[in-house]
Structure 1
Amino acid sequence: MKDLAIFKHSNDKLKFKPGRREFLKAGLLTSTGILAGCNLDSLFQSKSKPKPNLLFVFSDQQSRDMLGCYGNQQLITPNIDTCAQDSIRFNHCVSSQPVCTPYRGMLMTGRHPLYNGCFSNDIQLLKTNGNSFAEVLKKNGYRTGYFGKWHLYGGDRNRPIPQGEHRHGFDVFKTNNCDMNYLPGDCFYWDENGKKQFFDEWEPFGQTRQACNFIKENNKKPFAAFVSWHPPHHIDTETGINYTNGAIKEMLDLYDPEQIKLRPNVEDNPEIRKYYHGHMAMISGVDKAFAMLIEQLKKLNLYDNTIVVFTADHGDMLGSNGRLSPKSCPERGSVNVPLLIKLPESYRSGTTSDLLIGSMDMMPSILSLLGISPPKNIHGNNLGGDIVQGKEDTVESIPLMYFAPAWRGVYTKQYTYAVGGTWAPAGSPQEAFSANVLYDKTNDQYEMNNRFNDPDFKNIQEHLSNMSMKWLYRFGDEFWHEKYILKKLMNTEDIGFFKSGEDGIMTMAGTMPIDILKAKMQGSVI
């Protein structure tokens, strides 16, 4: 691997170049990660018991600390909190690339963004050749349904996703692709004729009713329902980001902005309080929608035999650490998301796990919990056996990455480390993406003391740097920047929502970015 330009931005130096032996020691060459997992058929299935169903629910832009069951005493989320009592609650679920499309690409394939195509927002997921999450479920007898935000079709967001390969194995598919209108009369989904059908209620409620109908219609056969709510994601407006205009009055009235307690690492001001007010109101709305799903499962006597997952694609900084961006940062507010897994018959109910689990690990681990062998070409860890057995120390780190600006790093239980990004004056737009950080989360929960290049943390920083390099070597990642990738793929630096071509950037390449980059790369990276 060539010298990485990003190390010219700091005093960090590359001191470790692992070979195959080191990779094997680190457990980084196996296709399904550290554990092969265990066959869970005997635990959750038998001849007298049907296959467990799957309800996979995820919100958009919700941090781990923004739920009552994670200790936030001011958030009103009674329904998710109740489910947590029947679930395993994970403290270290990590969004490896904390932005919408890349997370969804990893969730649906278990593969790194440079291999599935989704290295940035609004890029189309490459063909999955029968190995997507839903395609594997279908092969194993499941009826599959997807409801809500998709964001994997690339290019223009305002268009329907046609039937066929771009739905990647979902039998029932009701989505608006990616639209930021949540209010009654404005929110919609595309029907099978490519026409917009508008909801007369808040978007998550309408999407949830569709999912409930799917569950009812398929209650006599194994089903897998994926529900993706866009809230509590902010809404982009001409005057900046806004949260309150995505929430309904019923939920806004639950909170008094003046009484809301902010994170300790947030500078208090009226605008930030508006952020929190709208964000928290939308989370309470999501909680109400979640209750509809659980009620339907219980009404049909399906709750005990359904694996229920609640998580988020990434978090929201909400002004933490002075960041101007809600996401795309290495801090916990951006990368550390909630994860609840309720197993059949509430196995291991009410327990807490410190197992590290990343975005690429979700698909293989959930498949394993269903008794299904994951595909062999994935990168994520199959942690199904660890989850069932209550193991917590089998994963040492989760890779972190972002491509514009380019930064890479690792998340461990104690530390978060990242290098790269853009150094800029405090308060400037570019400052939002400065990423040279090292936080000791055990002793600094809110990451208020950056120890990057701190002499007292020299050995720790070197260790974390080497750990990060192992992940880069594993994926063949030369620390590419998004603009460099686009130059090689499309001879353009433009990744605008509508300027990249109707079919999205990656459809023209038709193959993995990593292969094209390796073939075309000349000289040093940017």
Structure 2
Amino acid sequence: MRILYVDIDTLRPDHLGCYGYPRQTSPNIDAVAKDAVRFTDCYCSDAPCLPSRAALMTGRFGIHTGCVGHGGTNAEMCQEGPGRGMADFNGRYNLPAVMRRAGMHTASISSFPDRHGAWWFNGGFDETYNIGKRGLEAAHEVIPVALDWLERHRTEENWFLHVHVWDPHIPYRTPQAYGEPFREEPLPDAWMTEERLAAHRRRKPGGHSACEVTGYDNKPNPATPRQPVEIKSLDDFKHMIDEYDTGIRYADTQLGLVFDYLREQGLYDDMAVIISSDHGEDLGEMGSYCEHGEADYVTTHIPMIIKWPGCAKNVASHGFHYNLDLLPTLVDLLGGVPPFTCNPVVGNPNPVVYDGKSYADCVRTGQDGGREYLVVSQCAHVCQRSVRFGDYLYIRTYHDGYHLTPSEELFNVREDPHETHNLAKEKPELCWHAAWYLERWVADNMLSNIDHRNADPLWNVIAEGGPFHCRGYLQDYCKRLEATDRSDCAEQLRREHAREL
């Protein structure tokens, strides 16, 4: 079996044509989707980049791996302790290691491990290629490496290739010569209003707010002229959406070279192609601009497109799935994988219990199916856990990342996908229901942590000073708020986060 895994960073499904977006952002991806099953409700279990890929690769929740943030103790996997062998978990049981056990030559083209110091990500790959720009490269710097690899391995029967492009991720890096393909097109959705934007600028502080798009200030970087630094008007808002969509279109154009090559070589029809992302991107939702800093619907909702030989084509499958469900799904689709063999004195030769659950039957038939509910987490920009159930998303905030976020929020994401109306006070019974789901999930997963990994990583992040991306910013940021006519926000932040001053 040949498998191509296309990993497009920071990609919202609702900005792809195959998911209903009217702009022509993704003609090449859309063409693959016609030969595939498109999953409409797939979510990363742990956002953003680092914890999401930790979950994808291990098939386990961050509450088990310990990897839930971007810095501090919980930017690392938990130590495996006395049971660790000469190779660790990621050399034996993660996704590429399992593909290798299935007889595949495994390779990754990604600068992700370098960007995040996540060297465990390379475990299980026979070959790894680092473009060397730590995630700041454009797709045209990645795709030639992929095409060269495919040319050298095109006659081989069994391989798994991971190709990672970053173009929708900020800072927007599409070459200036590519132009502005969406400049003359109106926005497909007029959900952002002058009144809502004004409220965001006045009452939604924090990193990547409308007044500080790139962090905690609005200073432009000459090296990234496409990147907005402040959203003052609806014209600015449209420009931000245009640039995000341009990043998707540029990645799609470059990936089209790969898909065309596979067709020209006669490989495409009999191979698997998987297209997904690590997380989405808030583009004004939750008062957050150009960032994936919440455990909200838009950040955690990801595309999942699976083209598999002999399976369903051009169909949408509905039902809740995690990104970490992919590992057992692939094992199921491959008809099982030989167990890892080790010294029997050490113990069970295949001791891993994955949190992921196979949805291979949905791939085979296109039928609906999935879990009753999902719990998704974010501990890099804020500390939140959320429950996706029915038509709703319930968000519980433990540390607001200086955004002045309510402790409880509830959104009907079917009717209100941009999360504009918090229903928590109107529907307390649904909040109680979701809180029960959340408590049960935490309790069940902490019981399986009862060995040497018996701490909840969310609370450890808070104990170490809060989410990594807001640590150390409070004092100076409050001064900026005072200097920009938001003294009331500064006063509230100082009051609510007094222990951090």
Q: Establish whether TM, by shorter chain, passes 0.5.
A: yes
From 73, 76, 90, give the equivalent of 2:22.
73
Structure 1 pair 172–392 and aligned structure 2 pair: CA distance change class (3 A): same
Cα offset, 1:176, TM superposition: 4.4
CA contact (8 A) 1:101 1:152 kept: no
Cα offset, 1:449, TM superposition: 1.7
From 384, 394, 404, give the equivalent of 2:360.
384
Separation (CA, whole Å) in 2 of partners of 1:403 and 1:116: 14
CA contact (8 A) 1:330 1:435 kept: no
From 372, 386, 390, give the equivalent of 1:396.
372
Structure 1 pair 492–319 and aligned structure 2 pair: CA distance change class (3 A): closer
Matching of residues 232-271 of structure 1 within 5 Å: 232-235=168-171, 243=172, 246-256=173-183, 259-262=186-189, 264-265=191-192, 267=197, 269-271=234-236
Cα offset, 1:370, TM superposition: 2.6
From 126, 129, 135, give the equivalent of 2:97.
135
Separation (CA, whole Å) in 1 of partners of 2:257 and 2:407: 40
Matched, 1:97 2:46: yes
Separation (CA, whole Å) in 2 of partners of 1:441 and 1:104: 25
Name the aligned partner's letter for residue 410 of structure 1.
Answer: V
Cα offset, 1:221, TM superposition: 2.3
Separation (CA, whole Å) in 2 of partners of 1:466 and 1:417: 11
Cα offset, 1:324, TM superposition: 4.5
Structure 2 partner of 1:216 = 151
Separation (CA, whole Å) in 1 of partners of 2:406 and 2:251: 32
Q: Which SS does the other structure have where 2:403 is aligned? A: helix
Separation (CA, whole Å) in 2 of partners of 1:59 and 1:461: 33
Q: Which SS does the other structure have where 2:269 is aligned? A: coil
Structure 2 partner of 1:304 = 269
Structure 1 pair 248–433 and aligned structure 2 pair: CA distance change class (3 A): farther
Matching of residues 499-510 of structure 1 within 5 Å: none
Name the aligned partner's letter for residue 332 of structure 1.
Answer: Y
Matched, 1:54 2:19: no
Separation (CA, whole Å) in 2 of partners of 1:403 and 1:494: 6
Paired residues, what number? 402
Structure 1 pair 435–229 and aligned structure 2 pair: CA distance change class (3 A): farther
Structure 1 partner of 2:55 = 106
Deviations along 1:120-171, one digit per CA (max 9) or x if unpaired, are 125345642400111111111101110123237855x9xxx6xxx7620111
Structure 1 partner of 2:206 = none
Structure 1 pair 166–232 and aligned structure 2 pair: CA distance change class (3 A): closer
Structure 1 partner of 2:388 = 411
Cα offset, 1:479, TM superposition: 9.3
Matched, 1:169 2:124: yes
Structure 1 partner of 2:166 = 230
Structure 2 partner of 1:506 = none
Structure 1 pair 421–274 and aligned structure 2 pair: CA distance change class (3 A): farther
Name the aligned partner's letter for residue 411 of structure 2.
Answer: Y
Name the aligned partner's letter for residue 298 of structure 1.
Answer: R
Cα offset, 1:422, TM superposition: 4.4
Cα offset, 1:359, TM superposition: 2.1
CA contact (8 A) 2:282 2:291 kept: yes
Matched, 1:449 2:421: yes
Deviations along 1:336-379, one digit per CA (max 9) or x if unpaired, are 1111111114x211111112111221222123223334964211
Deviations along 1:73-132, one digit per CA (max 9) or x if unpaired, are 123321111111111111101122221000110111101123334211253456424001
Separation (CA, whole Å) in 2 of partners of 1:272 and 1:172: 41
From 368, 373, 381, give the equivalent of 2:332.
368
CA contact (8 A) 2:294 2:384 kept: no
Q: How high is the TM-score relative to the length of structure 1?
A: 0.69
Cα offset, 1:432, TM superposition: 6.8
CA contact (8 A) 2:332 2:358 kept: yes
Separation (CA, whole Å) in 2 of partners of 1:225 and 1:263: 39
Q: Which SS does the other structure have where 2:51 is aligned? A: helix
Matching of residues 448-487 of structure 1 within 5 Å: 448-454=420-426, 457-476=427-446, 480=456, 484-485=460-461
Deviations along 1:206-239, one digit per CA (max 9) or x if unpaired, are 312212222232222201000111121012xxxx
Cα offset, 1:292, TM superposition: 1.5
Separation (CA, whole Å) in 2 of partners of 1:283 and 1:435: 33
Name the aligned partner's letter for residue 418 of structure 2.
Answer: Y
Q: How high is the TM-score relative to the length of structure 2?
A: 0.73
Structure 1 pair 114–481 and aligned structure 2 pair: CA distance change class (3 A): closer
Separation (CA, whole Å) in 2 of partners of 1:493 and 1:469: 21
Separation (CA, whole Å) in 1 of partners of 2:50 and 2:114: 6
Unaligned runs of 5+ in 1: 1-51, 183-202, 236-242, 424-428, 500-525
Q: Which SS does the other structure have where 1:151 is aligned? A: helix
Separation (CA, whole Å) in 2 of partners of 1:388 and 1:381: 15
Matched, 1:63 2:8: no
Separation (CA, whole Å) in 2 of partners of 1:136 and 1:437: 39
CA contact (8 A) 2:321 2:370 kept: no
Structure 1 pair 250–306 and aligned structure 2 pair: CA distance change class (3 A): farther
Cα offset, 1:249, TM superposition: 2.8
Matched, 1:316 2:281: yes
Name the aligned partner's letter for residue 442 of structure 2.
Answer: L
Name the aligned partner's letter for residue 162 of structure 2.
Answer: F
Deviations along 1:434-482, one digit per CA (max 9) or x if unpaired, are 562211223334332211132xx23222221111122111221899565
Structure 1 pair 467–473 and aligned structure 2 pair: CA distance change class (3 A): same
Deviations along 1:29-80, one digit per CA (max 9) or x if unpaired, are xxxxxxxxxxxxxxxxxxxxxxx21111111111111111111112332111
Separation (CA, whole Å) in 2 of partners of 1:355 and 1:468: 19
Q: Which SS does the other structure have where 2:112 is aligned? A: coil
